[in-house]
Structure 1
């Protein structure tokens, strides 16, 4: 099905000359003078090659038919990341290329949206927010206001983020999975 280039977002699958590409980043650029364009960074599904394409925002692009379903994350091993369809208990394995930057945020039992084409996982969408525990951070410095600066902290999944100075070790925090940024203290 043909769609306007400007409507493509991260995770969309495009069919170019018979090959499937998953969109990694999509940016609509509106210069002061000239035609607005859409800049897409994509990964070819068959071999993982990354390409960059630029289209006028009004151009039509062939969008591939993909099946988006909720899957439950089970575990990771040498084969890849294992997911289960909760409706029929079928399991699929997604490669490290498909999971990409989302790997640190996956938690056992997490429900994710997995896009498949002919039964093969091609893209993964995480929940927008995830709650994790701070396992290590520097102690708070006296007379340091909350708005002045952030300090480094290590999460229970091993990722390092920046948190406000009043956050201590053992605190559960809410993280935005898109960029790994601190949002707020967990309310539990």
Structure 2
């Protein structure tokens, strides 16, 4: 179905230049010369997994693909593929690593995701906006660092490298934004 570029949203599957893309992020950028606004997007090519940045004029028309969405839970890895359970009918769905892309690092036992299908084929996996990870490697806390805003690199239990505040230590659970792979906050039990 045809949609205006100004309505473009993360999570959409679109047809662009003969290929299918999953929209990862969008932001509106105003032209300084009164020429209108542009929609800056980050998209992932569904076939290759490569990411691209594209700008659309707000007046452009986009071909949005009709998708079926299934709430699923990750079960296990089988060879190079990943198996999910459909929460409606408890059937199992196998998804390739290429379809999941770099976000495969966020898969953990029992994580709930949304599979996006076009014509019965899984084209994208939508993760929760945040996930909880454990810091497995980082520098020790610097005395008095809480008074100043200092950051340091850290490696998480899923292998992702992030920058964390200096007060975060090895073994702590933190909340990570899946879209940007950035530190959000310390994980608070029961929150």
When the two structures are superposed, what TM-score results if normalisation uses the length of structure 1?
0.84
Query: How has the CA–CA distance of structure 1 residues 78 and 150 changed in structure 2, closer, same or farther, with 3 Å as cutoff?
Result: same
Aligned-pair Cα RMSD in Å: 2.5
Tell me the alpha carbon deviations over residues 52-88 of structure 1, each in whole angstroms, 9 at most, x when there is no partner.
Answer: 6543212332211101121111122333222110111
Query: How has the CA–CA distance of structure 1 residues 144 and 44 changed in structure 2, closer, same or farther, with 3 Å as cutoff?
Result: closer
When the two structures are superposed, what TM-score results if normalisation uses the length of structure 2?
0.83
Show the counterpart of 1:5.
Answer: 5
Q: How does 1:59-98 map to 2 (within 5 A)?
A: 59-98=60-99
What is the rounded CA distance, in whole Å, between the counterparts of 2:172 and 2:50 in structure 1?
A: 40
Query: How has the CA–CA distance of structure 1 residues 21 and 172 changed in structure 2, closer, same or farther, with 3 Å as cutoff?
Result: closer
Partner SS state of residue 145, structure 1:
helix
**Residue 125 in structure 1 maps to residue 126 in structure 2:** yes
Partner SS state of residue 107, structure 1:
coil
What is the rounded CA distance, in whole Å, between the counterparts of 2:134 and 2:173 in structure 1?
A: 4
What's the CA shift for 1:132?
1.7
Tell me the alpha carbon deviations over residues 153-176 of structure 1, each in whole angstroms, 9 at most, x when there is no partner.
Answer: 222222222222222222111111
Unaligned regions of 5+ residues in structure 2, if any? none
Bigger drift between 134-143 and 15-24 goes to 15-24
Show the counterpart of 1:171.
Answer: 172
**How many residues align structurally?**
188
